[in-house]
Amino acid sequence: MSLQATTSQTVGPYFKIGFQWLNRDNLVGEGVSGERVTIQGQVFDGDGVPVPDAILEIWQANAHGKYDHPEDIQDKPLEPGFKGYGRVPTSAEGAFRFVTIKPGPVPGPDGKEQAPHLLVSVFMRGVLRRFVTRIYFPDEPRNDADFILNLVDPARRSTLIAKKVAGAPGALEWNVVLQGPEETVFFDLGL
Amino acid sequence: MKRVAAYRAVYPGTQPSHLHPPYVSSIKRAPTKPQVPIPYTLSEVTGPAFGPEIVAPKANDLTRQHSGEPMGERIIVSGRVLDENSRPLANTLVEIWQANAAGRYLHEGDQHKAPLDPNFTGCGQAVTDAEGCYRFVTIRPGEYPWRNHYNAWRPAHIHFSLFGPAFATRLVTQMYFPGDPLIPFDPIFNCTADEKARNRLISVFDWETTMPEHALGYRFDIILRGREATPMEE
């Protein structure tokens, strides 16, 4: 028998009471290898106003390019201190910040490696179905050949690539812009 | 090289569009540019896993989180979590949150002039068992006003959040109660075009789980996205 997936609904304005027990803004446990990065940014609505009631969820591979998941059967090591899950709400100023490591490359649909990336789900009041996007890394030579990035209009690719923060080693800036010329690229997975 | 097996595309009309103008908050928050279709990769078919140990033993009983009992009508909300291929999804984290019996959330942003209940926080967690079943004990949430339009009231509802086996299966939804007169007027409930699909958000009164002299039972089954049958060969 074939069923239809339950329809999505907004998280509404009060998701904090349901989500905060599993908030995680530091993905890096003890003994985890890889380059530490702090990713910070803001969420902006169609008027350019920061969104104080959004929440981001992160999913990523470890520094070896291995996901902590049974379907990842690559011969690469897992690290007990790294699950790859993050959940970060925005502040009253619409800002978020989390600490993680730059993941290693994982296989792509063309049989080649994908450039290192984080998957992001974005939820907020007013959003009936989550947004799905990715964060890529600056100065990463694999970006140019990345299968997914190459599906995106070149003029919009920069919305997916975090920028270095001047004078702050390891700090990256990446914003979520919901509308307008700088609108973040969101992906359609047929969901 | 095998491609990963994709998750099935949504059946038309059964999921909301991002822009639904009757729900005013969607107007400034819905993207204006088309979303970019991408194939599934290992990134999307994996996802965070949470075992039963992450949930406190009584986290599924919202009536026993304080010294006293919360005000309101005690209810039991239970159901099964399946995928679109009718496969039960075991070990899946289910998070819920809701207003109290007076229609007030324990949240600083909720300024509705209704009393807070010192014995009710309004959030719970459960992990599905081997058959995909979950069960919560809670109180029936109250309806509450909001400012979407003149005299707007949300029907009674419980927010549900589920992870499922992959990034692709993540779902946040709301459960409603049968016979609620506010449902036909609610722009959030009505955001899904397909009438049958949105009506599946309404729980069913259930004698099987109703406990004599204790609590009414409501059943709410949840379907997460399922895989395509076979991976594409290259």
Query: Would residue A25 count as lying in a domain?
Result: yes
- Does any CB of chain B come closer than 8 Å to the CB of residue A191? yes
Helix (H/G/I), strand (E/B), else coil: B42:
helix
**Closest in B32, B41, B222 to A183, CB measured:** B32
A78 in reach of chain B (CB within 8 A): no
Provide the CATH number for the domain around residue A25. Answer: 2.60.130.10
Give yes or no for A154 touching B (CB within 8 A): no
Looking at the complex, report in whole angstroms how far the Cα of residue A102 sits from the nearest Cα belonging to chain B.
15
Report CB contact under 8 Å: A148, B188: no
Q: B24-30+38-224 has which fold?
A: Protocatechuate 3,4-Dioxygenase, subunit A (2.60.130)
Question: CA B198, B199, B203, B206: dihedral to nearest 10 degrees?
Answer: -160
This complex has an ipTM of 0.97
Going by C-beta distance under 8 Å and a sequence separation of 6 or more, which residues neighbour residue A28? Answer: A34, A36, A81, A82, A99, A100, A101
Is B157 assigned a catalytic role?
yes
Of these residues, B20, B104, B157, B225, which one is catalytic? Answer: B157
Tens-place pLDDT, residues B40-98: 999 999 999 998 999 998 999 999 999 999 999 999 999 999 999 999 999 999 999 99
Number of domains into which chain A is organized: 1
Per-residue pLDDT tens for A5-41?
Answer: 999 999 999 999 999 999 999 999 999 999 999 999 9
A55 located within any domain: yes
Burial group, residue A88, by CB count within 10 angstroms (0-12, 13-18, 19+): buried
- CA–CA min distance A82, chain B (Å): 11
A147-169 pLDDT tens trace: 999 999 999 999 999 999 999 99
Q: Which residues contact B152 (CB under 8 A, 6 or more apart)?
A: B145, B146
Model's pTM, two decimal places? 0.97
| CB spacing of B42 vs A106 below 8 angstroms | yes
Residue A4 lies in a domain: no
* Active-site position among B7, B134, B144, B176: B144
B86: left (phi over 0), alpha (psi -120 to 50) or beta: left
Residue A9 domain-assigned (yes or no):
no
Which residue shows structure tokens 């530091």?
A26
Encode pLDDT of A53-110 as tens digits.
999 999 999 999 999 999 999 999 999 999 999 999 999 999 999 999 999 999 999 8
Which positions in chain A touch B123 (Cβ < 8 Å)?
17-18, 21
Both structure tokens of B133: 């079943």
**A187 part of a folded domain:** no
Give residue A145's domain range: 16-177
Strand duo B157-162 + A131-136: pairing:
unpaired
What is the C-alpha to C-alpha distance for residues A122 and A118, in angstroms, rounded to an integer? 13
